[in-house]
Structure 1
Amino acid sequence: MKRGADKRPASVNHGFEDDCVTLPIDVILPLRTLSKSAKSSRKYRQIVASIAQIGIVEPPVVVPNPDKSATWLLLDGHLRIEALKDDGVQEVECLVSTDDEAFTYNRQVSRLAPIQEHRMIRKAIERGVPEEKIAAALDLGTRSIQKKIKLLDGISEEAIAILKDKPATGAVFDALRKMKTMRQIEAAELLVNANNYSVAYVKAILAGTPQAQLVDASKPKKVKGITPEAIARMEQELARLQEGIASIQDTYGQDHLHLTVIKAYVVKLLGNARVVRYLMQTRPEFLSEFQTIAEMESVVPAETE
């Protein structure tokens, strides 16, 4: 190979055409039928409210109909198109996709985390947008907007950083607010490690928090349906769980390295026809397990990558 060869990166295919197109809504053909309950859903009401206040934020995605007709196939934006139809709108500006795979768009959607929504609302208010207008655009009451504005009051910066892109609801932050800073961080790590942000789980963490780690340490904890003895046992179990997680984290890097080396060795082993033949004749159950290991794309579970 020659030195100084061209190392420029290969060109990247665009997902959309450079320019949007304005199309009559009646030439846009949906690729799926909306359920009967779609128009009564909260999501649909929010879209209607948002369009009424600020118009279309994200254009629908279309692709030319391959049958060469003057129609277009709707890949993404079915609820938006329905909302526009109900509002009597005749045409809409659309993004033109270079790919006709309809499932790709909804599979790749990145949902807005509560902390991100909080920051978005705070930024809008700082720029002079009235709370009433934000509430109308999101189809929420002004009290709900005020709660979202105060979402992170009393929450440590470290806990916020841990949960910044996680689907942690208001109930999570209500519980964290009752804990001292170090316990907030521990609780946030427990939520992330378990990938569980449910109300029940965060209440269990709160119930298992020692009294001294609560903001109001003088006020006895009261959890509906749980006796003081059960709370004490929960505190002990949670402490053991945290110790276990800490011990795993301490050896995680080394264990991952060992597993990677082992996998590479197994792959090399199965590349030897004599070894494979021997295993087939004497230990077929081992061969099956070795093949499974060799075919693994990663030694890390998919949900943790």
Structure 2
Amino acid sequence: MTTKRPVTSVKLGFEEASLRIPINVIMPLRNVSETVRRSVKYAQIAASIAEVGIIEPPVVVRDSADKEQFHLLDGHLRLDILRARGETEVVCLIALDDEAFTYNKRVSRIAIIQEHKMILNAIRKGVPEERLARALNVNIANIRMKRNLLVGICPETAELLRDKHVPLSVFTELRFLKPMRQIEAAQSMITMNRYSTGYARSLVASTPEDQLAEGRQRRRRGLTDEQISVMQRESENLDRQFKLVEQAYGADQLDLVQAIGYVNRLLGNARIVRHLAQHHAGILAELQKVMSLQEAA
């Protein structure tokens, strides 16, 4: 005899259809400052909208008292740009009241290797480099550098750094190294949580000649062999000290993770966030600042 399992329904997070909404009935929950409008991110979004339109619709929720009015949950920059362009309507996703959206939706900045793969995919599909440059608000030389990002980089190193925010110039430094040393350098950057060009250059400078790529000569920049040897020993010692500190702070890190998780759950409840926005805007701003710092870490 078989026992029938109870049927559980999946609760929708959005209304089933997107909706074209007049911009003047959408109420932003924060203002876009002039500083933000002058930022690179703002310019890139504006260029993308001008070139290919809105890719990701803004997310709104209906006002509890007036269903024809909406609160903007995600897409403040997009909406501000559309207003500046003179647009009067925008297609939006309508979140339900109990959906776990915040007024400051977390956005993960795309990593350089992920961007490289997106550019390659777009080029394979026939998108001209010039159009990509316009959409991303960069010059075409930048697009070509990102297209060739992993030339001379071994697959294992690319995999280690695939979700890291690494400057373009770091990959130029890594090309001076043989594959095994590339992997060691990438692991060192991850361990130290340092992805700067200067740190990558120091790793190259402290690399023995037999671990350099064929045909590549180390750029000494005025360093003697003795100075390079000292740099290598200090780097190894620093790695050991960092691992000891990491172990000692394990308990504090656990407490921090729990606290961040609690704040994240608070900001994942639209009703709580709406209440804070209306009655305790200062507290909400500080909590969101904590989460933004955590995401940037």
Report the secondary structure of 2:34's partner residue. Answer: coil
Q: For residue 67 of structure 1, what is the amino acid of its counterpart? A: A
Name the CA distance, whole Å, in 1 between partners of 2:243 and 2:182: 16
> What's the counterpart of residue 60 of structure 2?
62
Report the secondary structure of 2:27's partner residue. Answer: strand
Name the CA distance, whole Å, in 2 between partners of 1:210 and 1:98: 60
Distance 1:99 1:121, change over 3 A: farther
Q: Which structure 1 segments of 5+ residues have no match?
A: 253-258, 260-291
> What's the counterpart of residue 118 of structure 1?
116
Name the CA distance, whole Å, in 2 between partners of 1:7 and 1:229: 73
1:230 pairs with 2:227:
yes
Q: Which structure 2 segments of 5+ residues have no match?
A: 262-293
1:38 to 36, 39, 48: 36
> What's the counterpart of residue 172 of structure 2?
174
Q: For residue 106 of structure 2, what is the amino acid of its counterpart? A: Q
Distance 1:121 1:218, change over 3 A: closer
Normalised by the length of structure 1, the TM-score is 0.73
| Kept after mapping to 2: 8 A contact 1:75/1:101 | no
> What's the counterpart of residue 160 of structure 1?
158
> What's the counterpart of residue 205 of structure 1?
203
2:78 to 77, 80, 83: 80
| Kept after mapping to 2: 8 A contact 1:211/1:217 | no
1:84-106 deviation digits (Å, cap 9, x = unpaired): 11111110000111247897364
Report the secondary structure of 1:215's partner residue. Answer: coil
| Kept after mapping to 2: 8 A contact 1:62/1:73 | yes
How many residues of Structure 1 are paired with residues of Structure 2 in the alignment? 258
Distance 1:218 1:178, change over 3 A: closer
Name the CA distance, whole Å, in 1 between partners of 2:37 and 2:23: 18
| Identical-pair percentage | 42
> What's the counterpart of residue 87 of structure 2?
89
Post-superposition offset of 1:216: 4.9
Distance 1:151 1:220, change over 3 A: closer
Alignment RMSD, CA only? 3.5
Report the secondary structure of 2:102's partner residue. Answer: helix
Name the CA distance, whole Å, in 2 between partners of 1:124 and 1:23: 31
Post-superposition offset of 1:209: 1.7
1:51-106 deviation digits (Å, cap 9, x = unpaired): 11110001011001123252111111111011111111110000111247897364
Q: Which moved more, 1:156-165 or 1:233-242?
A: 233-242
Post-superposition offset of 1:167: 1.0
| Kept after mapping to 1: 8 A contact 2:19/2:93 | yes
Name the CA distance, whole Å, in 2 between partners of 1:107 and 1:200: 33
| Kept after mapping to 2: 8 A contact 1:75/1:102 | no
- Choose between structure 1 and 2 for higher RCO, CA contacts under 8 A separated by at least 6 residues: 2
| Kept after mapping to 2: 8 A contact 1:113/1:164 | yes
> What's the counterpart of residue 144 of structure 1?
142
Q: Which moved more, 1:154-163 or 1:185-194?
A: 185-194
1:27 pairs with 2:28:
no
Larger Rg: 1
| Kept after mapping to 2: 8 A contact 1:210/1:235 | no
Q: For residue 163 of structure 1, what is the amino acid of its counterpart? A: L
| Kept after mapping to 1: 8 A contact 2:25/2:69 | yes
Q: For residue 44 of structure 1, what is the amino acid of its counterpart? A: Y
1:6 pairs with 2:25:
no
